[in-house]
Chains A and B, each alone.
Chain A
Amino acid sequence: MTLQALALSQELAATSHGLRQSTVLIQGPMGSLGSGVLWRETGLIVTNAHVTPQHRAWITLANGQQLAAHRVGYSQGLDLAALQIQSASALDLTGLQVASVGDADALRVGQLVIAVGNPQGNPGAVALGIVHTKPSIPRWVQADIQLAPGYSGGPLATLSGEVVGLNTLIAGGRGYAVPSALVKRFLGAQAEQPYLGLTLQPVKAAYPGIAAAWVVTQIVPGGPAAQAGLVVGDRILGINGRLFHQPSDLTDWLDCLIPGQTLTLQVSQSEQLVICTLTVGQLSVQEQAA
C-alpha cells in the first residue's frame, strides 16, 4: 500500500470511529431494531419515526451502556422522532461524542459521505458512498451508498464528521436521508413551525410547458404571503427558479420549509408572470397545555 492510500485508509477509520461514538442502537419493546444519533449531552436522541413505533425504547450507547428512553417528539410526516434517556443522571458520556451537526445545503454532488448504523443489529457498521444528487427541493439528501435495514435513524455525515442527515429510506438502491436542517426544525417544535398565511389548491395549469400549478384561495391579511404581494386568484407555478413538475412538488416544499427562509415564487398574476419574494414566517405559539 502506498503512503497516500495508507493515509486515506487511516483517515477513513478515524472518521468512522468518531461517528460511531455518536450513533446509538435503538430497540423497541416489540423487538424492532434501528439506529439513532446522540444529539444533545442531556441524552436527547433523534431517530426515524418508523424506528420507534412505541413510546418506550431501549438505547445502547457506543460505550456499551444500556438505558431506557421514552419518546418526546414524533412526526410521521417527516419520519422523525426524538427520544429522551430517562435517568439523565445515569448517563455516562465517557467515550461518547454528541453529534456535530453540519449543513446539507453545502453538500456537492460527488462528495464522499459516510453512514453509520446497526444493520441486522450489528452495531456500528459503516458504509461509504457519495452524494448522488442534490434535489432542488431540500426534502431529502440522496446518496449513492449501500444501506440496509437497521441503518434507519443513523447519521449520514461528511468525512469531517459533520452529520448532514438521518438515513431514512432505501429506494432504487439509493439511500435517502432527512436533511439536518429538517431535524433541527423538528426539534424546535411548536415555536418554529413554518407559516405562510395562505390557502392553496392544485389546479390544472393551462399554459404550455407548465405541468402543475397551485391557485391561492385565501390570504391571511398581514401574513408572510400577503407581505410578499400575493393575492387571491394568483397561480403559483414554481419555487426558487424551478417550475413544478408535478403538484406534489409544492407539498414537498411545505414539508421542508424553515422559518426565516426566503423563497422566490414564480406566480401568474392577472396573466402576468411575476416573481414574489416570500420570507417564511413562524406560527405564533398558542398558550395551551401541550
Chain B
Amino acid sequence: MTSFDATLHALDDLSKSLADAVATVAPSLVAVKGQRRFAYSGIHWQPGVVVTADYGLSRSSQLTLTLPDGNVVQADVSGRDSALDLAIIQLERTDLPVPQTSEGQDLRVGHLVLAVGQSWDYGTSASLGLVGNLGGPWQTSQGRSIDRFIRPDVNLYPNLLGGPLINTAGQVLGINLNGPRNRVITLPAFNLNRIISTLLNQGSLSRGYLGLGLQPVELPQTLQQTLALSTEVGLLVVSVDAEGPAERDGVLLGDIVLAVNGQVVDNLRAVYAHLESDQIGQPVSLHLARGGQPMDITVTLGEKTHGGRR
C-alpha cells in the first residue's frame, strides 16, 4: 500500500461519530472546583441543577463552576450524599441545555462508551472505553440501592470524575463516580432523576433508622437445631442507640437478629434492604433469638437524614 486511499470509511465514520457524540453533550458540561487542588466535572442535568461527584467537593460548600460557555460562576452545594458520592448544585442560570439521556436497555458489555467532562483549563475532555461489566440491582456498601450495575472500562482521569458516561449517540447513560475501592462506577441516569428530586427537596437522602449496632456471628449448632434455623449466621446486637426506635420497641443488647420482615438476614446489606426511605414510619418485624428462645418484635422505622449508623 503506497498511500492512504480514499476508501477508508468505517474508521473515519467511527472517528467522526465519536467526536459528534462528545460535541452533542458538551454544551451541558461544567467544571466544578471546591477546596481541593484540582477541578472535577459535573453536568447540567435539569434546568438550574448541576450534578457532580461529592468526592471532588471535599468539605467545601462554596464552589466555583466553569460553565460550558466559559463563564465562571460561584454556587453553593444544595444537596449531597457521600454514600453515593453524589452532590447537586443549584444555579441561578437555567438556560443551559440539558442532555439527552438513555435508560440503556440496549446496553451490552463491549459497547463503546465515552467518559466526558469539562476541564478547568482546557474545556471539553473525553476518554474512550467500553462497557466492562453490567449487572442487575445492587447496593452500595452503605446500603444505597442502585437499579443497575454499570462499570465502564475507561481511563477516568481525575478531571472527568463527576461527568457523564455517554454512548456513541451522545446520550447520557449515567454519572461516573468513585465506586467501591475507588474504581469508577456509573450511577444510571434512571436512578439519578429520582435521587435528584429527593436531594432538592431535603438536601440529603434520608434513610431508615433502627438504632442498632449489629455484628454477624456464627450460631451454635444447638441453637440452630432448637430453633430449626436454615441459616448458620445471625446478627448479634452489640449496641442499641439510646432513645432509638429499636430501644423504644424493646430490642436488647445480646439479642440475635435472624430475620427482618420474614426474610433471613445474615449480613448488614440484607438488613439495609429493609431500611429504604419509603419504609420510614412503617413497622419492621424483627425475628430474634433471645436467651436461646425465638422472639418477634415490631419496630417502627425511624429516620436519619445524614450518614452514620442505621
Among residues of A, the one whose C-beta sits closest to the C-beta of B128 is A130
Kindly count the residue-residue contacts between A and B in the assembled complex, taking CB atoms under 8 Å apart: 106
Provide the residues of chain A in CB contact with B9, threshold 8 Å: 7, 11
- Whether a CB of chain A sits under 8 angstroms from the CB of B198 is no
Q: Is B15 touching A12 in the complex (CB atoms < 8 A)?
A: no
Cβ-defined partner of B19 (8 Å) among A109, A132, A135: A109
- Whether a CB of chain A sits under 8 angstroms from the CB of B204 is no
Q: Is B126 touching A110 in the complex (CB atoms < 8 A)?
A: yes
In the assembled complex, the CB of A76 is this many whole angstroms from the nearest CB of chain B, namely 24
In the assembled complex, the CB of B161 is this many whole angstroms from the nearest CB of chain A, namely 13
B116-150 interface code vs A (CB 8 A; 1 in, 0 out): 10011111111110000000000000000000000
How far, in whole Å, are A134 and B15 apart by their CA atoms in the complex? 16
- Whether a CB of chain B sits under 8 angstroms from the CB of A48 is no
Q: Is A8 touching B10 in the complex (CB atoms < 8 A)?
A: yes
- Whether a CB of chain B sits under 8 angstroms from the CB of A87 is no
- Residue tally, chain A, CB below 8 Å to B: 37
Q: Knowing A112-B14, A144-B126 touch, does A14 contact B1 (C-beta < 8 A)? A: yes
Q: Which of B38-55 contact A (CB under 8 A)?
A: none
Among residues of A, the one whose C-beta sits closest to the C-beta of B21 is A110
Q: Is A173 touching B22 in the complex (CB atoms < 8 A)?
A: no
Q: Is B10 touching A7 in the complex (CB atoms < 8 A)?
A: yes
- Residue tally, chain B, CB below 8 Å to A: 36
In the assembled complex, the CB of B9 is this many whole angstroms from the nearest CB of chain A, namely 8
- Whether a CB of chain B sits under 8 angstroms from the CB of A121 is no
Q: Which of B13-48 contact A (CB under 8 A)?
A: 14-16, 18-23, 26
In the assembled complex, the CB of A1 is this many whole angstroms from the nearest CB of chain B, namely 13
Q: Knowing A108-B23, A130-B126 touch, does A160 contact B155 (C-beta < 8 A)? A: no
Provide the residues of chain A in CB contact with B128, threshold 8 Å: 110, 112, 129-130, 144
- Which one of B15, B26, B116 has the greatest number of beta carbons of chain A within 10 Å? B15
- Whether a CB of chain A sits under 8 angstroms from the CB of B292 is no
Provide the residues of chain A in CB contact with B26, threshold 8 Å: 109
A residues neighboring B (CB under 8 Å): 4, 7-8, 11-12, 14-15, 17-18, 97, 100, 108-112, 129-136, 142, 144, 158-161, 172-174, 209, 241-242, 245
B residues neighboring A (CB under 8 Å): 1-4, 8-12, 14-16, 18-23, 26, 70, 72, 114, 116, 119-128, 155, 157-158
